[in-house]
Every structure is written in structure tokens, then in C-alpha cells.
Structure 1
Amino acid sequence: MKKITLFLFIVFSQAIFSSTKITETEKLTATCKVWGFLKYYHPFVAGGKTNWDEQLLEKLPKIEKAQTKEEFSLILENWIDELGPVKEIAPIPEPKDVKFFDKNFDLSWINNDKVFSKKLSKKLKFIEENRFQGKQFYVEGSEHVENVNLINERYDDPNFEDKNSKLRMIFMYWNVVEYFFPFKYLMRQKWDETLMQTLPAVIKAENYTDFYTAMKKMVSKIDDSHTEFFMYKSSIGEGNGRFFPAKGKIIDEKIVVTEIVGDSVAEAYNIKIGDVITKINDKTIKELISENRDLICASNEAAYLDKLVRIVLVNTNDNVKVEFLKDGKYETKDMIWFDYHESHRNEFKKGVMKKKDKFKLLDDNIGYVDMGIIKSRNIPAMIEALKNTKAIVLDMRNYPLGTFREISNFLNSQEKEFAIYTRPYYEYPGKFIWDGSTKSGSENKDNYKGKVIVLLNEKSVSQSEWTAMCFQAAGNTTIIGSQTAGADGNVSQFDFKGFHTLFSGIGVYYPDGRETQRIGIIPDIEVKPTIKGIKEGKDEVLDRALVFIETGK
């Protein structure tokens, strides 16, 4: 009798535990993925024949009640069935003359047996193989470049008292990145893990600031220097704060003043180029570096520090306590920071804004070009003035004004390919294809024969990096400076009701397939400014370029 009782207990226990428990985060992560997948793959949804947001809001209460994998999967199975039958068109022929770039593509989650039944996985796989073919209802490619644009999306603010309203917005944004951000494969943290980390914070968010702070932390994990996140109703004061009267650079966990932008304010507080800031409102620069990591999106450390210094030199309060290190002694100043326009208006009246040379001749017959201010109409004069120099320094520690073609025609003796691209493939969302290339230069026997030096640093981003690639194709170019921002290619922008954000929209590579994303343009000679050099008024990067021109080393 005891044996029979034990046997029945074991059978009964197995029956009870054969259903797999599933957590709320697991359910919501899986729901986000399925909802996004169907949005771009199911013919009925991707074709725009249903209000997909409303359907999500209707299903989420049912999903919340599901306790097991089986219950959860059944809800999703029925949801798919309710959409109507998917016509079998597989195998879908691959287009001719198209080369796929698949590093970004991953639908392996479809077979996750921890959260999906075999029947559900089979349904999802069938939809992939018989996916929507036609013009996508929710996304389209930008003209010429083909990076993603959102269309027919709801941009209303979430209801913070309604958990599902908040989830809808996160689901929508996460899937845009999942399927259409070209460098997802280069993120330090898997995008799936970012979603799982974000969901609990979104659910807990009780107001606008909490919600968008949670979202900002998610966006920071994209690891793309193009990516910014602006909250229209933010209490943080981005773009609306009070400004320190100078620009700075973080060196050795300190902020060094590099440029005075409000002379009268700087003069009142005796602030000079080379001054070292060690604390702002009692927080060390090291502490500020640490506590902002989850709020700033950057491809690499150099770009992160550059973005950070711009943020910490803005404050929502008029009065800011700043600690300086001067001559080995710490000195604290209670400063009044001013509105940006206010602090600059006086400087314009005084006429103290210095006029910069677009190009000039340095000592020893060396040409210098400021790529941040020279325009196409200035190039003929620049060429005439500098064509007989022994070297030209192209200073691109800034953002150039589209002069790459005219300058590369001057530098190159023949036409050369310098960049190739990937773009989203909307017929198979998540996949990218190699699509086109760009060439620089032209047949020119009178091309420039001297040395070409390009100066770069963390402020060299996007067009700066792409232009550097263009100039490298000349063959006589040397890159001097430090790591660039590591974000190239056209930008996809998303303007929601509550926020504005963007990310790199296409992939940019050297002709041999080497990446520039996150890495940036690697200098041939690495030089970084020092606190001592800045204090002494030196341009150590330019000085190193002049040494190289003279010695070849």
C-alpha cells in the first residue's frame, strides 16, 4: 500500500511541476520580442491592417495573469491565430546581386523552450519563412541612404498610472533598435539583457522623470556616439541650464579649462585656460565620471568623457560650488553661472570673439587648414596658396563643412574607393545588406605631392571620421592625434512627443571591411594634450605634427 501511495505521489507531483513557471520579466521580454517580430514580419500586421498598439494593450492584462510557459504560449498562439492565416510562399528567393551582412541578425530566441512551447516556436518560424513582402507600414528607408524612418507610429506620452501604456513605448523603441540599428552586434551588453534590466524600472516609474530616466539608461547601452537622448519635459535641465563660462577637457580625472567662452564671467572669477577643476558641488570629477555612465551613450571612453564634460559644466542652479587646483593648493569658489546666451551676448558687444583663419602658411613652408570653418568656396584659394608647400596640416578636431570632395581631388592622383556601406534590408527585417561605396579623388597629375597630416581627437565624429577615411585614400596621409568618437554614417532620428533621440543609421566600413564604429579612426601617431601643455598654451598635437613633418618620425 505504501509503495502504491508513493507511486501516486510521484506521478501527481510530476503532473503539477510539468508546467514551467515563468517570471514577469521573462514574460514581458518574450512578449516584446514576439510583438516586434510580428510587427515587421506578419503580413497582416506589417501591412498595416490592424492597430498593433491597441492589440498589445488588450493582450497585456491576459499575459500578466499567465503563470506558466504553457499558459503564456497559448495566449500568444491564439493571438497569432486571430490575425488570420499566413499564406505559404516559402521558399522566398534571395534577390540577385545582393550580398547580406548577417552579423546583426539573430532570431534564435524563437526557439527558446524556457518561455515558448514547441507549437508557438513552430508558428513563429513559419511566419519568418513566409514573412511579409511589400512596403512596410511602420518603417521606411530614407531617400538615397536608406537608413530607417518611422512612419504611422503613435507618439503620445505614456500614462504613468498604467503599466501597460509605459510598456508599449519601451517595446516600440527596443524593437526599432533590434531590427534597424546597424551596429547592434558591437554593443558591450546584449540588447536582450538591456531589455530585461529596463523592464522592472519602467514598471516602477511613477512620473515622467522616472520613466524617461529609465529609458535613458536603456538608450545608453547602445554604445553609439551619435546617440543622444533629449527629454522635452525634463527637470534635469538639458539645454536649459546655467553654464560655466569656459569649455574643458577631462584629463587624469580632472577638468582642464581649454577655452574661455564668457570672458566677463571668467574674468570676474579669475578663470584662465589651463585651470584645473577637481570638484563641482562637492563631487569629484571621478565621482561624476562614475555616476553618469548609465546616462550617456558613447562609442568609446574618449567620446564618453567629451560628452560628460559638456554636461557637468551645465547646472540647473545659478549658484555652483567649484573646487580648483592651483599651484598645488585647492581653492573653492562659489560661482554664479549664467544663461548661455546671456554670457555670450556681452562678449559679442565687446567684439572679443577672435576671427579664425580658414587656412594659413606656417613657418618652414607648411600649410594649415581649419577644417571646421573652411567652406567649398574657399578651396580654390586654399589650393593656390598652399599647393607648393612641403606639407599641409588638415586640422579636423572639429566638424568639417562638406569639403571632402574638393580637397580629395587636390590630394589624389587618381580615383580611389575609401568607404563601403551596409543598410537595413526591409524585406527581411534585422538583416542588412552591403550597399554601395564612395570614391574620392580623380585623375590628376598635378595632385599635391607633399605630406598630408590630419589631426583628429574625440571631437572628430561622423563626417570628420568619414572625411579622414577619404583623405587616407590619398596614400601620403598620416593621422596624428587620439581616438575619435567612433560613430560614422548617416543618422536616423526619432522625434517622439516626449523625447527626441537618434542613432547611427547605416554601417560604414573601410573597403576591406574594417570597422570604424566604436573604434574610430586609429591614429598613426598617438598624441594627447597634457595639463601642463594646456596651461602653457601649447597645441601639443600640432607640435607633434610639425616634428613629424621635419623628421619623418
Structure 2
Amino acid sequence: MKTKFLVFLLLFLCGNEFATAQKTANTLNLNLDFEQNEKKEKLPDNWFAWGTLPVTKSDLAHSGDIAGKVTSKDGKGNFGCVAYKIPANYEGSYIRLTGYMKIENVRGFAGLMLRIDGNGNTLVFDNMQNKKIEGTLGWKKYTITLPYPDDAENIYIAGILSGKGTAWFDDFVLKIDGKDIQKIKKKEKKVYKASLDTAFDEGSKVTFSELTKTKIADLEVLGKVWGFLKYHHPAIGKGEYNWDYELFRILPTFLNAEVKGERDKILLSWIARLGAVEKCSDCAKTDEKAILKPDMAWMDELNIGSSLKAKLRYIYNNRYQGDHYYIKSVRQVNNPNFINEKPYAKMNYPDAGFRLLTLYRYWNMIHYYFPYKYLTDKDWSTVLKEYIPTFINASTELEYEIAALRLIGDIQDTHAGLWGGNDKFQAILGSNTAPFKVAFVENKLVVTKYYNPEYKEVSKVKIGDVITHINGKTVEEIKKERHDYHPASNEPTKDRNMAKSMLRSPNKEIAITYVSDGKTQQHTLPLYGFRDLNIYAKSNKASYKLLDNNIGYVTLETISVDDISKIKKQFKKTKGIIIDIRNYPAESILYYLGSYFVSEPTEFVKFSRMNEKNPGEFVMTEAYEISKSRSMYKGKLVVLVNEASQSHAEFTAMAFRAGENTTIVGSTTAGADGNVSTIMLPGGLRTSISGIGVYYPDGGETQRIGIVPDVEVKPTIKGIKEGKDEVLEKAIEIILKE
């Protein structure tokens, strides 16, 4: 049986027992037992509050005299944490947090939290939300274990409460590879020359005159040479140069070059200053079977002289093979980890030099490290030149954010939205929205459910009503205007994302025209802040139940590994099982439950992974298997999917598809499969990509295509009005059919 593939996804929220005597005798400097409180403040020394809920110390402790406490009486606060920050000056392969928690009348969830950051990103994270710990419970020990990233910079531990109630936390212990962090010798971090270069921290000092066609072509050459050197030249790979700032050093001279020969001489001189490149004895040739090979065609396609071209080819053939300052492969999963990429977050509106850096940085990351580059509608080799004037001429912060959003959209990856730093764009969309959900059904904007039913009367619209105009514009006009601002792998997912923003506004109300019971009506719709609505409320429904006609139903939205044995026992003699993945799985259960539906080890997936030592090369792995269980399920399996099924949900659907009596029902999924790699860009912009390629065992694509159902069923307006789940109904029909 082949090794199981572990999927690590980045989310976006924020062990021995101690005896009292041990607490008293503890002289180490980390206050993880809460007992140090020399300042006599509301929180013990070095602990701090995160979130919006009240956080204090408490004398209701598990042991000793002090514990941390988070409380919420009305449940309106988002979340609260009693948190502690520790510099990640340690080495290891895994990290484990244990601690004690007591809860009272919790509605929502409470748990420990462990988060590790590096290079401005959250590298690994768990807050026990998927454990759904609520109600009233006495002191109990809890544990979180995560892989320990090589590029960890800061470790955050916390106790978290989200929702209503009270939670107490005490006696935290943090271990790396089984050793107490308070007893591990700190590692000495290597200081790179690149990190000491601060010459352009306040700005690039670069100005651009008229952008002629010739100048744009020259800047395209510079961008591609800059990116090539970044990932191939040994001096840069060793961290001897801040490559962002070296761009700003060469730009003034480069921009003054008038002829091709002079331009090439400047670049050759620039390369020479980096030092000699020694012959490489272990630079392997590209694997002939690689699914994606390094694309150096630009060296021939652009107007580059023979001397410069020869120098670049020499560097490629003798490229850097050591641990790279700017790129590394994430342990076990092999997706790219873009390290030491400064976000320059204080520059809300970066100057023209930094804006050009954004384009250069992103284009080269995609060119060398995006496994699905070949699937984009645009030829990626043309994109850099196209966007040079767009980024240089972006005259406002908003224009800069929109330029970045459009560029990101061109890779057509649902993982690749603009997830942070785009404050101006978000302000245009607004922080208020309708208290009900809308979706595009039969190409119309339809009301599908209320987040807050108490607002039905003032909102007027009913479930199944069709909204035709917003503030005087047709829905079709708004869709066309916003199409490029909602990156996605395919059109159904783009519609999914656009629907979420259609009724957003900076104002407290918008005018809508809608059709209800065949009549066209108009209404001034009141809007509400996101925090005032139950948009992100987590379901607390059971993950499984028995339907009529002896059919089992499982939703992965609230699934737990602990549920698997109960599901197998209760559903063993059912006619069929329906697994609903029109959501995001609460836990990764595909190996535990997938094996229930196969009689022998069954291949279900292949991956393409980057070759860290040969930028641009992606090699296909052998197929991975679902192992068989001791007793296979004898009935039918129907799996439900739609455009909400994304990433790990799609990966899970692939595993169930390998079952011997499986039918996939619903509509095309989001088409964004593969572990996420985060990208930081100047101005604090944060985006990401699918970092590995995911394929069926026969090499069939999933990216952009999604999981194509065996039986396509989409909701209808009529069905929504009648409160039907037509996809679920079709699943039941398939199971009952002899």
C-alpha cells in the first residue's frame, strides 16, 4: 500500500499534568501556567487579548492560583483569545500544544489555539473549531499537534472562545518533537546579507518617463531576466542580495538605455557584479516525463543579444542547488513556499518602482512555480508585457489593487483571490449587505435563504424571488462590470463569488427591483453589517442521520473522525448512503471513510510536484491509493457536489469516486484542487495559488474542470420556492432505483 498523502490547508482565523508544587517551583521564563503576575494587571505577565470578547485572569484555576478567562454574555462578539507569543527559535518536525480548559454554557465553540507564522504568512494553524466543543464541561486536557515549519518565525498559543458563554484555560505545555520548549536550546538563526539591506525601505526612488513601445519591451526583458536570476543564480539563492532592492538599483540606469546593445551591456554588467558562477556537478537535466518543463523560450522570443543569451543559459545549466533564500518546498506535500518575500505592508499605495516589483514578483512566481500555468486561457508569456503600463500608471491605491486583482484573475484559479490588503476595493464593495443569501439559479439572481429570519418583514422578498435590478442597474450589467474582479477557475464558481457581493454596499440601504409571484416590485432594502448577521454561523447539526426508506445521510460540514465508526455501524444494512460535500469538510476523513467503499486497494489520485532544484519542472507522482477496510459497504454510495465543493472537498470527492458503486450527483465543482501556497505582494496584498497539481490516476484534469458529476442536477427556481433539495431528491431516487 502506498503512503497516504497528507493534506495541510491554511485557514484564516485567528503533556504532562502539572502539580501545584511544580508551578510554584517553575523558574523558567515562559509564563505558560499563567502564574507570573508581577504587574498585577488583568492578564498574567506576557499574556494578551485577541479579538472582541472580554479577556481577563481568573482565580478559578486548574492548578495554582491563576488561569485565563474569556467570556461573552450576549454572543455578539466575534471571538476572544487569551494569547501568548513565542519567537520560533527552535528546530523540529512537529509541535504539540497541550492545555486544560473548562467551559460553561458555551454556544459556538471553545478550544486551544496554535498558530505559527513566518514571512508574513500563517504557515500552520488549528483552533479546534472542528471539534465543536460547547456546552458545560469541567477541566479537561486538550491537545493540538501540527507539523513544525522550517521557516517558522513566531509561535502563537491561545485559548479561544467564539460565540456565547465562558471558557477558562490553564497549564499550557508546548513541545517540539516531544521535548518541552522551555528546556530546548534555542537555535541560532543565520543572518543573510539580503536581510540587512534597507536602502529602499522608504521608497524605490524610481521614476518613469513616457512608456513607449520600446521601453515597455525593454522592461519586459528586465522583468524576465530579473526573475530568472532570482531563482537560478547562486549568489541570490544564498541570500547575498536583496533582489527587490537590486531591481531598484539597476532601474535608473536601465531606463536611460537608448539602444538594444546598451541595454544588454547593462544587464551583463549587472550579472557580472553578482560574482562568478561555478560549474555545477549535480544539476540534473529535466525529466523527460515531466508534466511541466522549464520554459526558457522567452530567451529566444525576446530581442536579446547572443552574449546575454549565452550567459543566461550558462547560469541555467549551473543553477543553484542549495537551500534557497526565496523558495523552498513545503515538507511532505511539496507545494512551493515563497519565503523572505517582504509584503511592504506600510506602503498602502506603493510607488511606481514597487508597483513594477509586484508585477515582476508575481509573474515569475507563476512562471516557475504554478503547476497549472498551461491551463490559463491567456498565454502566460504575454502577460508581463501587457501589464507593465497598467501597474506603472496605476494612479491611486484603488487602481493598484484592481490591477493586482485582474492580474491574479488571469491564472484562473479559485484559490487565487486577493485575500488581504485590498482595503480600497473592499470599501467600494462596502461593509453592509442584505440579511439573506442570493445565488445565480437559471442565470437569475435568486433569494435562497435568510441568514437572519427576523429581518424577513423589513426585507419584503421571499425565498425564490428573483432580483432583477440593483440601484437602477440590471443584474446582468453589474455582473459584466464585476466579472474580472472575481478570480475563479470556472464560470459557475465565478457566479458563486459574484453572488456574495451583489447586494453589498457602503450604504445602509439599496434600491432593488424584484419579481415575486409573477409581479414586479420595488423596495428600498435595509442592509446590515456582517457582524450583525449570521452569515458565518457554523452548523451544529449532527453529521449523519437515517432518512426514510432506510437511506443513510452524511454531511461533511460537521463530520468528525470520531463519527466514522458510528456511521459504519448504524448504516451497515442501509440501501444506500448519501455523502453531502456541497460544503467544506470539517475534518479530513477521506481515508477513514473512503476505504469503506472499496474491496481492494484502489488508486484515486496522482499529483504533480515542483522540482525545487529545477524551477519550472513539475513531475507526476505515482497514483495514491485508498486502502480497503475489513468489511466493505454493500449498498449504493451517492456523493453530492456543486460549486461550493472546493479544494479538499474536491479531493475528498475524488476518493469517494474510486468506490465500486459510487455515483456523483450535482453540478461542477470549484475546480481548485491542490494545497494552497501563499503569496505576499507590496502594499500588504495577500493572494495564493494551488501549489501542486491534482489528477485522476489516468492523468485526467481536475483544475478548472472540477469534479464533473455522473448525473447533473442543478437547483431550479421552482424547487427553491417549494423548499426542495432537488439534488438530494435525485440521490434518493438513484438509491431506490433497482
Asked whether the two chains share a fold, i.e. TM above 0.5, the reply is yes
Q: Of 295, 319, 342, which aligns to 1:131?
A: 319
| C-alpha distance in 2 between matches for 1:538 and 1:200 | 51
Tell me if structure 1 keeps the 8 A contact 2:445–2:475. yes
Could you say which structure has the greater relative contact order, defined with CA pairs below 8 angstroms and 6 or more residues apart? 1
**Match for residue 272 of structure 2?**
81
| C-alpha distance in 2 between matches for 1:308 and 1:142 | 32
**Match for residue 217 of structure 2?**
26
**Match for residue 375 of structure 2?**
186
Q: Of 455, 460, 463, which aligns to 2:648?
A: 463
Superimposed CA distance per residue, residues 200-234 of structure 1 (whole angstroms, 9 cap, x where no aligned partner): 11111122221111111100111011112034351
Name the TM-score, length of structure 2 as normaliser: 0.68
Give the letter for the 1:270 counterpart: K
**Match for residue 577 of structure 2?**
392
| C-alpha distance in 2 between matches for 1:443 and 1:370 | 21
| C-alpha distance in 1 between matches for 2:288 and 2:385 | 33
The 5-angstrom pairing of residues 275-424 of structure 1 reads: 275-344=465-534, 356-401=541-586, 402-424=588-610
Give the letter for the 1:222 counterpart: I
Cα displacement (A) at 1:91:
7.8
Alignment partner of 1:271 is 2:457: no
Give the letter for the 1:155 counterpart: P
- Distance change >3 Å, CA 274–CA 296, structure 1 → 2: same
**Match for residue 284 of structure 2?**
93
| C-alpha distance in 1 between matches for 2:348 and 2:572 | 63
Superimposed CA distance per residue, residues 143-183 of structure 1 (whole angstroms, 9 cap, x where no aligned partner): 21121112222221558584222212221122112111111
Cα displacement (A) at 1:240:
6.5
**Match for residue 10 of structure 1?**
none
Alignment partner of 1:488 is 2:673: yes
| C-alpha distance in 1 between matches for 2:366 and 2:227 | 11
Cα displacement (A) at 1:354:
7.9
Superimposed CA distance per residue, residues 366-389 of structure 1 (whole angstroms, 9 cap, x where no aligned partner): 111112112111222222221101
The 5-angstrom pairing of residues 161-176 of structure 1 reads: 162-176=351-365
Superimposed CA distance per residue, residues 505-537 of structure 1 (whole angstroms, 9 cap, x where no aligned partner): 111111111110111111111111111111111
Superimposed CA distance per residue, residues 428-475 of structure 1 (whole angstroms, 9 cap, x where no aligned partner): 11111224543213243x210101000111111111111111111112
Alignment partner of 1:147 is 2:147: no
Question: Would you tell me which structure has more strand in proportion to its own residues?
Answer: 2
| C-alpha distance in 2 between matches for 1:403 and 1:354 | 18
- Distance change >3 Å, CA 321–CA 139, structure 1 → 2: same
Alignment partner of 1:116 is 2:301: no
Cα displacement (A) at 1:545:
1.6
- Distance change >3 Å, CA 222–CA 286, structure 1 → 2: same
Give the letter for the 1:429 counterpart: P
Cα displacement (A) at 1:51:
2.1
Cα displacement (A) at 1:92:
3.0
Cα displacement (A) at 1:479:
0.5
Superimposed CA distance per residue, residues 175-196 of structure 1 (whole angstroms, 9 cap, x where no aligned partner): 1121111111101112232222
| C-alpha distance in 1 between matches for 2:388 and 2:213 | 15
Alignment partner of 1:253 is 2:439: no
Give the letter for the 2:225 counterpart: V
Q: Of 189, 196, 218, which aligns to 2:407?
A: 218
Superimposed CA distance per residue, residues 251-303 of structure 1 (whole angstroms, 9 cap, x where no aligned partner): 24321111210112223222322111112222222112211222111111111
C-alpha RMSD of the superposition: 2.3
- SS of the residue aligned with 1:167? helix
**Match for residue 263 of structure 2?**
72
State percent identity of aligned pairs. 37
Name the TM-score, length of structure 1 as normaliser: 0.89
| C-alpha distance in 1 between matches for 2:290 and 2:308 | 28
Tell me if structure 1 keeps the 8 A contact 2:298–2:381. no
Alignment partner of 1:535 is 2:721: yes
Deviates more, 1:387-396 or 1:204-213: 204-213
Deviates more, 1:261-270 or 1:435-444: 435-444
Question: Would you tell me which structure has more helix in proportion to its own residues?
Answer: 1
- Distance change >3 Å, CA 45–CA 243, structure 1 → 2: same
- SS of the residue aligned with 1:39? helix
Cα displacement (A) at 1:197:
2.3
- Distance change >3 Å, CA 386–CA 82, structure 1 → 2: same
Give the letter for the 2:269 counterpart: N
Q: How many residues align?
A: 523
| C-alpha distance in 2 between matches for 1:119 and 1:311 | 52
Structure 2 regions of 5+ residues with no counterpart? 1-211
Tell me if structure 1 keeps the 8 A contact 2:414–2:671. yes
Q: Of 369, 377, 393, which aligns to 1:204?
A: 393
- Distance change >3 Å, CA 486–CA 161, structure 1 → 2: closer
- Distance change >3 Å, CA 523–CA 220, structure 1 → 2: same
Cα displacement (A) at 1:334:
0.9
Tell me if structure 2 keeps the 8 A contact 1:22–1:69. no
Deviates more, 1:303-312 or 1:328-337: 328-337
Superimposed CA distance per residue, residues 9-41 of structure 1 (whole angstroms, 9 cap, x where no aligned partner): xxxxxxxxxxxx962221111111110000011
